[in-house]
Amino acid sequence: MTRELRALPRIGRTAGVVCLAIVAARSTATAQVPSLVDLSAQYTPPGRANDPQTTEAQLSSFQLTLNVPVPLSPKRFLILGGSYHVDTVEYSQMPTGVEEDRTFHAAELAALVVQVLPERWILLARASGGIAGGFETVDRRMIRYNALVLAAKSVSDQLSVGGGVLVTGGYKRFLPLPAIQVNWRPSEEVLVEAFLPAFVNARYTVGNRFELGARVELTGATYAIRDARDRNRWPCTAQPTDDPGTPDDETMPRSSACLDHVSYTVGSAGVLAGIRLTSTVWLTAFTGVSFYRRFERLNADNGSIDGGKQSLPASGFFRASVTWRIPRS
């Protein structure tokens, strides 16, 4: 397993095409009532793949999301948004002379249009694009894009349901998926939200100041690998001489075995707790267990490299967020 993959016990945000879908879902899940500003940090303790020779790695993640609502008319508005995500991996027990950390970045810009329709219907359309990788170099093959069209109806003052289509693309993949949204407020204190296939979230507000709840989520990420040291080695590049000790001919490149990008998927469940700092600013914590973790190594054609799929053991995590919410969100 390559050094990059040993660094991915928690890099994130299902492998391959499903991973791309979850990245998009994660961005659009709160599109109806987005937060104006969200700053979050997550810690996952050291872990390793199910391989006794892999190196332990600990992941720290940070994300900043901004949204700016722009009213276009009494029944239509535009939300312009952007996000920047960083995953930093710190190794332990690395051989001497080997790099001991790695940082991956993901930047995205998005535009969301919401149109209020008669009979308590709402039509939502969102498009976004961005790049993600180690940012050693940047090229157009790192571009990812996604779009969502969803119609929702307020069945009552307490319940709204919606459905639509989520389309994701990038790394020579194009995938449409169904999207389902539910927002149920059985009382002033209780709110249940769901956006499938991304998350289900329930929270109880105490005294309009404290929150308690639970959350299940599925997230993923894809990062481009553009390390020049790897690109200059076989199988990415032909070597001057063949190594007689290996079955492969190193004088002939093999693009199907050349690592181009990695994808990671994680399913997590845990408890939520929050406190209102001001009228619209909340400090929240989310902690629990990532019960499903899987990553995959992929070549430039988005094909899996031999031995590139690995499942990772379950792991605990802790995430803290400061959020400037729109009132009653």
Which of the two residues, 34 and 288, has the higher pLDDT score?
Answer: 288
Average pLDDT, integer, range 228-236: 75
User: What confidence score (pLDDT) does residue 109 get?
Assistant: 97
Task: Decide: 68 and 77 in contact? Cβ < 8 Å.
Answer: no
User: What confidence score (pLDDT) does residue 302 get?
Assistant: 84
User: What confidence score (pLDDT) does residue 33 get?
Assistant: 59
Report pTM: 0.80
User: What confidence score (pLDDT) does residue 241 get?
Assistant: 80
Which of the two residues, 137 and 320, has the higher pLDDT score?
Answer: 320
pLDDT tens string 158-187: 999 999 999 988 887 888 999 999 999 999
- Above 70 in pLDDT, residue 144? yes
Q: Which domains does the chain have, with CATH numbers?
A: 3-225+260-324 (2.40.160)
Contacts of 90 (CB under 8 A, 6+ apart): 57, 58, 59, 60, 100, 101
pLDDT tens string 300-309: 888 888 777 8
CA nearest neighbour of 22 among 140, 164, 143, 199: 199
Give 279's Cβ-side CA count (13 Å radius).
2
